[in-house]
């Protein structure tokens, strides 16, 4: 009986875990990425539910208020989300190396970091919401609603970060299925509460924000219970929650540059959002709807970034450097196919898709303008992100941060302050063009940097396992 139970538990573990150091790469990458794509789509669907419900039942002003907060939220939380990337990389690397003790240290340290960070960033976001929105030139008819949404959203930040750190740990061992199941449940709850709070109780943006927090709490509980019940190296024991110095150093070396990159990237996006805000609320609403649609393409491409990051980390930990290199080329090809297929596919139904968010023809026109510039070139963003994942997977996190901030973030800021500032070019078309130009530029620099690194680091089978960035 005991042997049967043990065999069943082993079978269950194998069903969810993935050994990325063996077998054909492309099928495994697709098998890993499929649930990730569905998970990302579900997250976007319940985020889209916020925008659709307020756009349809509360009006364009509420749509603009909710849609304009994304860049601000990302600005504040990205540095902590970067630490979750660091935790995922370290778990994958030690898992690939077969070091269960190191995996345990990273798991308990990362959950503790998530808990502390959640309260810190939640308090900061709640207190600074309206002052930062004023700096972004949010219109007077939008700012109060936007500030209310942001404040309620940040009250749920501990739930948000704990879920993302926990899901990152599961992804590190190849488990992308259970996070999908948990998002399915929490996403359904979010949609139901959106409809109840906004349509039945007329709570406007406060209703969709409260529904989001409730759904985040549910997904957090599910992922933590999963880790606590796990019989593998990622088992979470609440009594062992504390910060281990070595684990924190490894997480920070990879995660802090990733988080800084994300936050500084968000500064350029905040500047772009501020520039959009200088037009009118209908332009903001159209931009919000188009951005949300683009998110579905991005999340599919981002799953390939996650695959590259995890496959490269596990194989680097196992010192299988040929598989590390092959991972990159497989992921680059896959992300181009996904980006072009989805981007061009969405363009075929641009107005029909935008009308789901808001029926105002002017709002739809502004959304179409953005989509026709961004979507045909969006695959460049995917290629850029895959290069970042590859370098982080082999232990370099500072270098891709510097390249990304220079090639994309700084470039966009210069674009806004020079070309876009000229009266003849002060248009939304010129503003949106800064995206594809910066993606192409950054990808080319990343590729050159990686080829130089690969010649040094991925040709020596006896290289020491590194705990973090060496750049």
CA of residue 43 relative to chain centroid, distance? 10
Closest CA to 233 of 94, 394, 393: 94
Question: Is 455 in a helix, a strand, or coil?
Answer: helix
Domain regions of the chain by residue span: 22-457
- The confidence score (pLDDT) of residue 271 equals 74
Main-chain dihedrals φ then ψ at residue 99, nearest 5 degrees: -100, 85
- The confidence score (pLDDT) of residue 412 equals 84
Please give the Cα distance from 245 to 465 (Å, whole number).
Answer: 18
- The confidence score (pLDDT) of residue 464 equals 40
Encoded tokens for 133:
């929105």
Compute and round to an integer the Cα radius of gyration of the chain. Answer: 22
Please give the Cα distance from 119 to 453 (Å, whole number).
Answer: 38
- The tokens 């009308």 sit on which residue? 355
- The set of residues, in sequence order, having a beta carbon less than 8 Å from that of 23 and lying 6+ positions away, is none
Closest CA to 224 of 119, 107, 337, 309: 107
Torsion of CA 214, 218, 221, 224, to 10 degrees: -110
DSSP characters for 89-142?
HHHHHHHHHT-HHHHHHHHHHHHHHHHHHHHHHHHHHHHHHHHHHHHTT--HHH
End-to-end CA distance of the chain: 53
Closest CA to 324 of 337, 304, 343, 308: 308
- The confidence score (pLDDT) of residue 15 equals 62
Cβ 128 vs Cβ 157: under 8 Å? no
Please give the Cα distance from 452 to 396 (Å, whole number).
Answer: 12
User: 463: which DSSP letter?
Assistant: P
Closest CA to 377 of 339, 346, 338: 339
Closest CA to 265 of 441, 382, 374, 405: 405
Angle in degrees, CA 294, 297, 299, rounded to 5: 105
Please give the Cα distance from 1 to 7 (Å, whole number).
Answer: 10
The total of other beta-carbon atoms located within 10 Å of residue 270's CB is: 18
Task: Return the sign of the alpha-carbon dihedral for residues 410, 70, 261, 378.
Answer: negative
Encoded tokens for 93:
């690397």
Question: Is 397 in a helix, a strand, or coil?
Answer: coil
Cβ 227 vs Cβ 166: under 8 Å? yes
- The set of residues, in sequence order, having a beta carbon less than 8 Å from that of 232 and lying 6+ positions away, is 13, 17, 173
Please give the Cα distance from 15 to 319 (Å, whole number).
Answer: 25
Per-residue pLDDT of the chain (471 residues; tens, 9 = 90+): 444 444 444 445 556 677 788 888 999 999 888 888 888 777 777 666 777 777 777 777 777 777 667 767 777 777 788 888 889 989 988 998 889 999 999 999 999 999 999 999 999 989 988 888 887 777 777 888 888 988 999 999 999 999 999 999 998 998 988 988 998 899 889 888 988 998 888 888 888 889 989 999 999 999 999 999 998 999 999 999 999 999 999 999 888 888 877 777 767 777 777 787 777 778 888 888 888 889 889 989 999 998 999 899 889 888 888 899 999 999 999 999 999 999 999 999 989 999 888 788 888 998 999 999 999 999 999 999 999 999 988 888 888 888 888 887 888 888 988 988 888 888 888 988 999 999 999 999 999 999 888 887 776 544 443 333 333
The total of other beta-carbon atoms located within 10 Å of residue 172's CB is: 26
């Amino acid at each position: 009986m005991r042997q049967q139970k043990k065999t069943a538990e082993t079978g269950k573990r194998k069903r969810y875990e993935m050994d990325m150091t063996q077998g054909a790469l492309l099928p495994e990458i697709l098998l890993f990425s499929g649930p990730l794509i569905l998970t990302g789509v579900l997250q976007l669907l319940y985020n889209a539910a916020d925008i659709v419900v307020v756009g349809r039942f509360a009006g364009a002003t509420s749509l603009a208020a909710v849609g304009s907060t994304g860049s601000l939220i990302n600005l504040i939380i990205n540095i902590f989300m970067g630490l979750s990337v660091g935790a995922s990389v370290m778990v994958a690397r030690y898992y690939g190396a077969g070091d269960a003790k190191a995996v345990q240290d990273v798991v308990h340290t990362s959950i503790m970091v998530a808990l502390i960070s959640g309260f810190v960033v939640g308090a900061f976001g709640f207190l600074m919401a309206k002052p930062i929105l004023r700096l972004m030139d949010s219109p007077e008819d939008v700012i109060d609603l936007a500030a209310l949404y942001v404040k309620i959203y940040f009250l749920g930040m501990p739930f948000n970060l704990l879920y993302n750190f926990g899901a990152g740990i599961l992804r590190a061992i190849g488990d992308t299925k259970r996070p999908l199941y948990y998002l399915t449940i929490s996403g359904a709850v979010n949609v139901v509460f959106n409809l109840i709070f906004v349509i039945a109780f007329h709570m406007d943006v406060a209703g969709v924000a409260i529904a989001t927090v409730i759904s985040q709490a549910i997904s957090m509980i599910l992922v933590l219970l999963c880790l606590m019940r796990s019989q593998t190296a990622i088992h979470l024991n609440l009594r062992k929650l504390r910060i281990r110095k070595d684990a924190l150093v490894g997480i920070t070396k990879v995660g802090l540059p990733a988080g800084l990159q994300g936050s500084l990237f968000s500064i350029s996006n905040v500047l772009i959002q501020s520039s959009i805000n200088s037009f009118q609320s209908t332009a903001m609403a159209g931009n919000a709807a188009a951005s949300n649609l683009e998110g579905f393409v991005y999340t599919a491409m981002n799953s390939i970034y996650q695959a590259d990051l995890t496959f490269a980390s596990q194989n680097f930990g196992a010192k299988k450097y040929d598989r590390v290199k092959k991972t990159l080329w497989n992921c680059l090809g896959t992300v181009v196919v996904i980006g072009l297929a989805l981007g061009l596919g969405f363009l075929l139904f641009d107005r029909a898709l935008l009308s789901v968010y808001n029926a105002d023809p002017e709002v739809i026109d502004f959304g179409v303008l953005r989509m026709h510039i961004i979507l045909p070139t969006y695959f460049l963003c995917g290629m850029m992100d895959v290069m970042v994942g590859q370098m982080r997977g082999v232990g370099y996190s500072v270098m891709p941060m510097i390249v990304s901030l220079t090639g994309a973030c700084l470039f966009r800021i210069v674009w806004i302050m020079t070309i876009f500032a000229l009266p003849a070019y002060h248009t939304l078309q010129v503003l949106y063009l800064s995206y594809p130009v910066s993606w192409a530029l950054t990808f080319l620099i990343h590729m050159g940097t990686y080829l130089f690194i690969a010649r040094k680091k991925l040709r020596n089978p006896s290289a020491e396992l590194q705990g973090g960035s060496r750049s």
